[in-house]
A and B are shown apart, each in its own frame.
Chain A
Amino acid sequence: MTSLLSILNLVTFFPIVGVLIILFLPRNRHNAIRWTALIASVITFALSIKMLADFNINDPDLQMVQEVTWITVAGWDIKYHMGVDGLSLLLVLLTTLLTPISILSTWKAIEERVKEFMAFFLLLELGMVGVFLAQDLFLFYVFWEFTLVPMYFLIGIWGGPRRMYAAIKFFLYTMAGSILMLLAILWLGLNQGTFSIPELIQTGGIDPQLQIWLFLAFAAAFAIKVPMWPLHSWLPDAHVEAPTAGSVILAGVLLKMGTYGFLRFNIPMFPEASLKLAPWMALLAVIGILYGAAVSYAQRDVKKLVAYSSVSHLGFVMLGLFALNMQGIQGGILQMINHGLSTGALFLIVGFIYERRHTREMDDFGGLWKVMPVYAILTLIVTLSSMGLPGLNGFVGEFTILLGAFGSSPIGSRLYAGFAAAGVILAAIYMLYMFQKLFLGPLDKDENKGLKDLNWREIVILLPLLILIFWIGLYPKPFFELMGPSVQKVVDILQTAALAVH
């Protein structure tokens, strides 16, 4: 059932409406532009909620599928093929939630070229949602590359002092990985005769030796995006230079495109290779967890600290995915959401203080709890969520990931999960250190004595994230139920492959 105004199309392309309206607004009417962008993104969010309502949680397959032939070249059918399942649903919702939040966070922060900023931001949303919904490799690749463009400008125009350097690095780095993926996509199209992802998964039968090469080609693109250690070098630059809203989206959603890629493509399309390479992926993940945590601790710039913490957190996600069992993968997906919420919130929090003080050096702060109690408490909650305090969201993800990895037969050794669990200690060290440097101790800097606590707009920005932090921590059942059947399907594919190997 394909129709132009079907829900998936609307969720993906509604931001275009906002972009078009913004293009017609005079550039000096900043507030009108902001409100247009906000309303467009809120409507997109409402549309995604409608998609959630239509979603059948018992169906493991793609739902609300849109499929029309797009390009036919030399017998290849490239299709406009969209669909949603348990692997992507939550990520789409995360995207549509974080976009209006980010837009609201720019109210005071972005005063220059508001028009272009908002237009790029909505285009970015379009690209991200498209990435999560595309079910044709070619279409996916188009969306994947498309997201680079607005993000490039968001960093390059509205970023910090070294913005051009960071933007170019971000662009080139990601591009380099994508080219290998493009080659693999072309190979698949040529040899398997289709670009349809579900078809490719169902057909299977790729020679296991070849799978390894294809796996690696896709992994090149995804691992850079995640970023997996040691391919993370672009991340601190991008984060430090990006404007707050850009960082929120970068950490919250763009990085998840990498982990999602592994889950959607590498694991089900190349199950034999995944089984074989799982210990190696786990090794990189664990190194990332520990290395990211240690490097975070040594930072002096709050934003950089949070940026490096992403390397650690995404290591957990990767470890979970490549546990290749139910607990690991479900935990991994949930942790993608958790990281989006917690780290997104952390970047917003860093943005709040940066807007007030125009510095992010931790040594410039101390004792802020005294003047900004609301800010302190909310930061504390987010900090605790990020370091995996039980009862909050991060713990549910980390625990299930570690549990899955601990008992994973493809990973093969309990040591990986054991070392990863030590990352939980290190997380407490750098997170509490950050909290201490900002909020505890005496309020001894004169510049900080007159700081104003959060205003209503800022509290409203954080509120949805905080609600989800508690909700997922205390009652994650609905979230797991959404992904359960689809993850089961992936695990079944892996089991079949494992049997074939033996």
Chain B
Amino acid sequence: MASIEVGVNGGLFSFAPLIIFLPILGLLINIIVGRRFGERFTGAVACTAVGLSFAVAVLQFIALRGHPEGVNVMVADWITIGTLDVAWSLKIDTLSVAMVLMVTGVSTLIHIYAVGYMHEDVRFQGDPGRYTRFFVFFNLFVASMMVLVTANNFLMMFVGWEGVGLCSYLLIGFWFEKGEDGIGNAVAGKKAFITNRIGDFGFLIAMFLVFWQFGSLEFDQVFTSAQAAGAAVGGVATAITLFLLLGATGKSAQIPLFVWLPDAMAGPTPVSALIHAATMVTAGIYMIARNHVLFELAPFSSTMVAIVGGATALFAATIAVGQFDIKRVLAYSTISQLGFMVAAVGLGAYVAGMFHLVTHAFFKALLFLSAGSVIQGIEHGHHHIEHGKEATGPPFDPQDMRNMGGLRSKMKITFWVYLIGALTLSGIPPLAGFFSKDEILADASHANPAVYWLLAIAAFFTAFYMGRQILMVFFGKPRSEAAAHAMENPPVMTVPLIALASLSVLGGILNLPGVHSLTDWLHHTLEHVHAGEFNFIVAGFSTLLALLAITLAYLIYGRTKMKKGEPDPLRKILGPIFVGMHNKWWVDELYDLLIIRPYVALAAFFADIVDWRFWHDWFHDSVLARGFRGLAWWLSQAFDLRVIDGIANGLADVTKGVAARLRTLQTGYVRNYALSVFAGVILVLGYFLFR
């Protein structure tokens, strides 16, 4: 835990704040001149800013090899009151730099992709002026995420924590006039923010507990005191970590706060890839890993974390099976995969969790961006056939997999990269997802069998729904005119896809069994992590499960081609269970019934009945005011409003009178005289003031 403070002469470390400031610079430039210089300029600035941020992160990586214990880089004072002393200060250690490298690296690729994607999207949606705004928000997101990741204290982490939430809100509602009833996107953004705020409430309470227990909010100090106190602070540590868990369930979309993430898909696809799959949603896992000292002191909380993660992994995977929207499948898959990571960190397998976090960032970003490519391909096709044709019937949904099919031959690059992503996600060796998922499963198998089985079944579902998706989208015959005319996208979009596909294939190298590069790297920060052993039985079993699931998917969706307008074949097989999966087990409806409606009713009751009719109208107007008037009337017939009116009019008259009388002084020469007197007064005043 020992780390040194770095001043201006900290070598490469002193560049660390640039990781945050470069994206901020980028967005400021775009705010000021972005629209004037056009799309190319805007895109170049935004990508360069994030790319340079990545370069600085690489410098930090190099510097850390010499100082693996990490450093604190002080930027500025922030809040100092009594014993509370919080600074803007960066913690550069192996954990934060691993995260920074991943985030800035993936962000750079997605920024480049977005240059192409948003060029089309702003035209498709009919407001090209919003291109610059998108990249401003996108850069702001990277900056916030960097604040979150590099913070050396709870409070600064919280700034990033809510900052990324804000960007998420802004980007989900980016097309704020679109969506269901024209307001759907905006509502989805609001839902994301408010659900996250519930988690943030937990984070806040955790901070209060930390401060009043340990007298500081700085990670190093808190962890040192906590370790020194040991079991004596077990109770508080349990409370703190349970509240932190609530925070994590918000940001990382776990039960019970996961409901915002599927709706978040209303944002443009690069947003789904970057924020709602690869980076922001992993913040909860990162936060738990960062606080591992406290979680180790609280075994009960850790077990709760593992159970929440395992349950979410399975629950979300079942929902993914029943979705038809290409992005919603991926959204529930993300929730499920985050569950894997949360379970891992709950079981103390911090490295496995972080490993899966990184590989997942690669392949889920890949999948979302490829899905974006598919959607735009379909939109092109739709556009193609719409020419010279009156639009009839319900609006065409380019994201509905029932409108797809047969895209394999139309969009070759997209198909191959999508396939790689899907296989990686399904955990097929030797792709990245296999190694990282397997490390979690191996750790779970001896740490907590119940969680292991939750995860193993979830892994089976994962392979199944990905198989289903691939078959529905790329195989068979096109089920709509648009799909039949789909077109591949330009290289600015496909090249980042290929880069991410390569990372998905090779990502396993990060922590190969027996080599353990990531374990060695992280162990400087996460003490007593052990290298996970490779377990052939576990690995073999999960590979078998995945293959089985894919075969099953083929039998259902591949052998007989799905036809236009035909219901999902699984509907016949599973019956009401499929209906439940499709309707997301009615969780949204449940929350609506239990929380939202009661609150709306309560607010209306307080506002209309309690505050207005009872307190304002009845008590004040009827009881107080009328009572007083009655009393006054009784005392003196003439007292009533006349007095009050009298005061009002009287004072107004007095003022007017004074003004009028003073005005009579200022006719003719007198006015000039008066004015010069006042000029003199001001001069004298000025003299006394500034002498």
Contact = CB atoms under 8 A, between A and B. Distances in A.
B79 interface: yes
Interface string A137-156: 00000000000010011001
A24 B666 contact: yes
Contacts of B648: 152-153, 156, 164, 167-168
A336 B558 CA distance: 66
A298 B81 contact: no
Given A20-B678, A24-B662, A294-B603, A400 B79 contact: yes
A23 B662 contact: yes
A443 B177 contact: yes
A152 B163 CA distance: 42
Q: Is the interface of B mostly helix, strand, loop or mixed?
A: helix
Interface string A244-256: 0000000000000
B147 to A, nearest CB: 8
Given A119-B655, A153-B651, A369-B176, A23 B201 contact: no
A326 B78 CA distance: 16
Contacts of A436: 183, 186-187, 190
A233 B190 contact: no
Contacts of A403: 84, 207-208, 211
B295 to A, nearest CB: 22
B80 A477 contact: yes
Task: Determine chain A's interface SS by DSSP, over half rule.
Answer: helix
Interface in A418-446: 418, 421-422, 424-425, 428-429, 432-433, 436, 439-444
B208 A406 contact: yes
Contacts of A429: 194, 599
Interface string B145-161: 00000000001001101
A480 B659 contact: no
Interface in A387-412: 389-391, 396, 399-400, 402-403, 406-407
B689 A116 contact: no
A442 B183 contact: yes
Contacts of B386: none
B652 A402 contact: no
A170 interface: no
Contacts of B615: 230, 233
Contact of B183 (A14, A115, A295, A441): A441
A24 B211 CA distance: 60
Interface in B597-627: 599-600, 602-604, 606-608, 611, 615-616, 619-620, 625
B76 interface: yes
Interface in A174-215: none
Contacts of B608: 298
Contacts of B651: 149, 153
B28 interface: no
A370 interface: yes
A262 interface: no
A432 B81 contact: no
A294 B687 CA distance: 54
A486 B83 CA distance: 16
A407 B211 contact: yes
A408 B194 CA distance: 28
A402 B204 contact: yes
Interface string A290-326: 0100110111000000001000000000000000011
Interface residues of B, number: 74
A153 B656 CA distance: 13
B566 interface: no
B565 to A, nearest CB: 31
B77 interface: yes
A294 B78 contact: no
A50 interface: yes
A379 interface: no
Given A406-B212, A440-B186, A24 B671 contact: yes
B396 to A, nearest CB: 19
For A50, A298, A390, the residue with the greatest tally of chain B CB atoms inside 10 Å of its CB is A390
B182 A441 contact: yes
B379 interface: no
A498 interface: no
A317 to B, nearest CB: 16
Given A24-B674, A441-B182, A476 B652 contact: no
B663 interface: yes
Contacts of B438: none
B183 A476 contact: no
Given A399-B155, A407-B208, A294 B602 contact: yes
Given A294-B599, A391-B159, A432-B194, 12 more contacts: A14-B685, A24-B678, A115-B659, A168-B644, A169-B625, A233-B619, A291-B611, A297-B607, A298-B607, A327-B84, A330-B81, A391-B162
11 contacts: A5-B688, A149-B651, A169-B625, A295-B603, A298-B604, A299-B607, A326-B81, A389-B166, A425-B198, A428-B197, A444-B182
